[in-house]
Structure 1
Amino acid sequence: MLGEIWSFSGRYKILHMTWFAFFLTFVVWFNLAPLATALQEDFGLEVAQIRTLAICNVALTVPARIMIGMLLDRYGPRLTFSLLLIYAAIPCIAFASAQTFGQLVISRLALSIVGAGFVIGIRMVAEWFPPKEIGLAEGIYGGWGNFGSAFSAFTLVTVATALSFFPGSLQVADGPLLNWRMAIALTGVIAALYGILYYASVEDTPPGKVYQRPTSARGLEVTTIRDFWFLMIMNAPLTLVLMLLAWRLSNVGFFSPTAFIIALIALLGLYLFQAYNCWVVNKDLLAGRKRYPAEDRYKFKQVAILELTYIVNFGSELAVVSMLPAFFEGTFGLSKEFAGMLAASYAFMNLVARPSGGLISDKLGSRKTTMAILTLCMGVGYLVMGTIPAVRDSLGGSGGFMIALAVVMTMVCSFFVQAGEGSTFALVPLVKRRVTGQVAGNVGAYGNVGAVAYLTLYSLLPDGDAGNQIFFQTLGVAGLVVAFLCFFILEEPKGSFAEMHEGEEAPGAIGHPAPVADDQSAPLY
């Protein structure tokens, strides 16, 4: 596969078009941060209001990933991804044309749904690549697409400057003339145009392959009664984290006390509605009218451990990316600009680390062991990062050598974090074929759960070295605990390195026509 990865035909065309679709959703999702200063000056916002917008940027991503997973399993990735990309233009244009803080909040909440796009490509890539290559393929999809956040950070200010000759531009204090409105609207328009191109250029499955759908996509299908109650327990944190977000919004004055209570009741109703839908899907199982044969069962504990793994890797990544510039600035007394550049080294590792995690998972011979080792190394890496202030003091200051050492420590830790993400989604498509979208949605949502939980903890810690040390130690210990679960409880999925996915016949078998590649040098399987 490594020799064919640069091909743009057959399954490689699907891979490249899909990671770029994900890339654009992350460009859109993260288009606020680099232009936040211009927005703040234009509206005269307080710091608390800017932080509120940042919270809104992730608020609906958690339930959206669950819902997108359901739609994905029902309608297929081609239609779902195309519509999400086209939808992205609506909140982008609404945000760019907002005249009040309330309009900014509403449009940003609507835009947070775009952050669910990651889930869609997981199943698209899984449909086109066999299990033995799924790690590298999903790693390239996730790593290269995830780079959209760093791309936004490095380019949108330049784009806004280039668009400054249009009406509505704003002179930022001690900065360039910017047109932040047109820059944000442009990201949405580009995503929408690509959505049309994507729909016209891809298919859900290779020729001759049937797209497997669950009996009902209203809720996640489980195969034992015990797993149903386990599912109910694991769904609870998805609602609890939304309640935590509502609490944070109330603390900055966005919710009145009455509105906060109403929000909590609505979120409780959302959990009960989700539980009801899961009951509808699994009611025959619960009533004893349906029993799955052994070969059709899967263990929900696999999904639960993957959810916990994504909390500690992707959840911690989102949290660390948010605090790392301030960490470098405060620890070494650097300027905001230089601290931001050093912190960007963490996100840049996505280009190689996540595909590397997937490749290691393909080559090591045990996807379970790969994920356990990478998670263990990640935990140790965070514990090491927690020692940076102490090492600085022991080496006598914050000179160039100490800063370089801290950057190296950060990048090494970042590699294991993002490689762990790649190994997680090398496993997700192998749990149960027909509900891959919903499994990916649940696991992806837990990444946001982790980010919100970690950032809330960080906001409650004391400023300075003591708070940073506790934060990194918490991330490290959480990683070690989940690594233990991966080593001793997680089970290797059936057919982890098979030529065909579970439930599929080999190409060319009777009644199953061999798929035809666009280019014979790049066969589908």
Structure 2
Amino acid sequence: MKTNTPSLEKATRINLLDFSSLQMRTFHLSWIAFFLCFFGWFAHAPLMNSTIGPDLDLSKAQKITAFIASVGITIIARLIIGNLCDKIGPRKSYTYLLLFGAVVVASSSFAYNWETYLLSRMAIGVIGASFVITQYHTTKMFAPNVVGIANATTAGWGNLGGGVTQALMPLIASGMLAVGLANSELSKWRPAMFVPALIMLGVAYLYWTYTKDDPKGNFSENPDLQPKKLEGESGLFMSAVKDRRVWILFAIYGACFGLELFVNGRAATYYQTKFSLNETTAGMIAALFGLMNLFARSMGGWLGDRFSKTGGLSGRVKWLVMVLFVEGFALILFSRMDMLGLAIGTMILFSLFVQMAEGATYSVVPFINKKSLGAVAGIVGAGGNVGAVIYAQFLLRSGASLENSFMYFGIAVVAISMLGLGIKFSQADEDAAVAEQKKLEEFEKELQAKEKLAA
């Protein structure tokens, strides 16, 4: 069923069973592509202590440094990829990134010492920029009344890759040994890296074939669809850089997604060391953190859309501040738990709010600077990686335990949540959002009337 506004040609509904419309094909392919990139990005984490570390004789400091390198390089990659989306479009950007990801994830299996392993992890970190393309592409395809939940759901389901890899990679690696593709317990991780790489190649083909840059077509076919600066304005990227609100969201995203990255990289190790669990059990528990993305991030974006109906753009911001505040408090609770059951329960509570905060953040992003959408999405997305690097550097250099580090980070999140109160919109932006909301509500009523007549 056609659910696009005549003027915007953007979808006003999300029909998960619709695989024929361009908007929903893009929705599904963007989260699947992001899922695979996240899966490959964190495929090393659950195997680090038991196989990769001993195989390459890595020290604790080298393991943390590899994580920092993999997350840190994504800061630069996200800034570049956001600008690239504005220039060549999300379709080409995602296809090229998936092809690159397939090569570097598979190539990591050939690392033979610390130096080559570090280089491979840095290269893999580039695919973390996939998040920016996902958010850019869904924003292009969905109308303002559902853009929050569209962005949040594609990102949340994509983020599942970081949790699923915690559970599946140990099983995949063991399977490689069982079928004779690995010659020892310590080398089983090497052939396992080809599994996500091969799937990436298949999705790259699907993305190129079945998506377009915009509901009206591709940038290469219709240059008028490509974002352009007006005469006398700064470039699209500089326009985003000069907006103070972008940097507040940069810090906020570091306080939510940055922590998700950090916990994805350390959760399995945390349960192995603090509760003396084996690799498989710790990986299964750590996977629960990522699995909350099934609905939590979507909920954050959906509630952002709901708050905007009564509170306008400022309503979206108030929801973001609230959910981020609770996230910080939940992390403090998790850090104080010494019983396994309570640790798991409070981790799930923290996961719920950290992912809702991410969804709430990207329910605000599309309204900050619409002409510089790619640049804004890239800068804010990079903030998550900056946060993850800061957390990892603190752990590496402070000498604090992981559980105490979690407590300190929770306190920091509570403080950062207050920055959100500094995100303001002009009256003109608020009025435009209200007018757009009324227009979409009228269209929805017309659509429902037509459906009743058809029935």
Q: TM-score scaled to structure 1, two decimals?
A: 0.71
Measure how far apart 1:156 and its partner are.
Answer: 2.3
Whole-angstrom CA distance in 1 between matches of 2:182 and 2:324: 46
Assess, with a 3 A threshold, how the Cα gap between structure 1 residues 19 and 499 changes in structure 2: closer, same or farther: farther
SS at match of 1:341: helix
Q: What is the distance in 1 between the residues matched to 2:101 and 2:263?
A: 26
Question: What 5-or-longer segments of structure 2 have no aligned partner?
Answer: 1-11, 309-314, 444-449
- The CA deviation string for residues 285-320 of structure 1, in whole angstroms up to 9 with x for no partner, is xxxxxxxxxxxxxxx122111111101111122223
Structure 1: distance between partners of 2:438 and 2:162: 32
Look up the match of 2:372.
435
Taking structure 1 as reference, are residues 45 and 170 closer, same or farther at Cα in structure 2, changes over 3 Å only? Answer: farther
State how far apart, in whole Å, the 2-side matches of 1:186 and 1:338 are. Answer: 22
Q: CA deviation at 1:165?
A: 6.5
Asked if residue 485 in structure 1 is aligned to residue 419 in structure 2, the reply is yes
The alignment of Structure 1 onto Structure 2 pairs a total of residues equal to: 414
Q: Is residue 38–residue 158 contact of structure 2 (8 Å, CA) maintained in 1? A: yes
C-alpha distance 121-501 of structure 1, shift in aligned 2 (>3 A): farther
- Name the CA distance, whole Å, in 1 between partners of 2:166 and 2:87: 35
Query: Which secondary structure state, in structure 1, belongs to the residue aligned with residue 66 of structure 2?
Result: helix
Say whether the 8 Å CA contact 1:317–1:417 is kept in structure 2: yes
Q: Within 5 Å, which residues of 2 pair with 1:152-301? A: 152-164=165-177, 169-172=182-185, 179-207=188-216, 211-215=225-229, 220-222=237-239, 231=242, 300-301=243-244
What residue ranges of structure 1 are gaps of 5+ in the alignment?
232-299, 390-397, 508-519
Query: Counterpart of 1:379?
Result: 328
Contact 1:313 1:421 (8 Å CA) reproduced: yes
Q: Decide which moves more: 5-14 or 42-51.
A: 42-51
Greater shift, 431-440 or 163-172, is seen at 163-172
Post-superposition shift, 1:31? 1.7
Q: 1:218 to 1:165 in 2, by over 3 A?
A: farther
Aligned to 1:307: 250
Q: Secondary structure at the match of 2:300?
A: helix
Q: After the TM superposition, which of the residue ranges 153-162 and 47-56 deviates more from structure 2? A: 47-56
Structure whose CA Rg is larger: 1
Which whole-Å CA distance do the structure 2 matches of 1:166 and 1:343 have between them?
A: 27
Tell me if 1:144 matches 2:177: no
Structure 2: distance between partners of 1:59 and 1:214: 30
Residue 426 of structure 1: which of 357, 363, 374 is its match? 363
Q: CA deviation at 1:200?
A: 0.7
Q: 5 Å matches for 1:481-520?
A: 481-491=415-425, 494=430, 495-496=432-433, 499=436
- The percentage of counterpart residues that share the same residue type is 29
Residue 294 of structure 2 is matched in structure 1 by 351
Structure 1 position 155, deviation (Å) = 1.6
8 Å contact kept, 2:61–2:396: no
Cα 1:345–1:363 change in 2 (3 A) is same
Q: 8 Å contact 1:315–1:450 — kept in the other structure?
A: yes
Query: Quick one: which amino acid aligns to residue 79 of structure 2?
Result: I
CA distance in 2, matches of 1:31, 1:320: 14
**d(CA) in 2 for partners of 1:496, 1:483:** 24
Correspondences of 1:379-398 after superposition (within 5 Å): 379-389=328-338, 398=339
- Kept in 2, the 8 Å contact 1:302–1:491? The answer is no
The answer on whether the counterparts of 1:87 and 1:192 sit within 8 Å (CA) in structure 2 is no
**Map of 2:20 onto structure 1:** 9
Alpha-carbon distance change, 28 to 500 in structure 1, aligned in 2, over 3 angstroms: farther
By percentage of residues, which structure has more helix? Answer: 2
What SS does the corresponding residue of 1:163 show, helix, strand or coil?
helix
CA-CA distance at 1:2 after TM superposition = 7.1
| Residue identity opposite 2:19 in structure 1 | F
Asked if the contact 2:78–2:381 (Cα under 8 Å) also holds between the matched residues in 1, the reply is yes
RMSD (Å), alpha carbons: 3.1
Q: CA deviation at 1:45?
A: 4.0
> Relative to structure 1, is the Cα distance of residues 112 and 134 closer, same or farther in structure 2, using a 3 angstrom cutoff?
same
Task: For 2:279 and 2:55, locate their aligned partners in 1 and report how far apart those are by CA, in whole Å.
Answer: 21
Q: Structure 1 3/443 Cα, relative in aligned 2: closer, same or farther at 3 Å?
A: closer
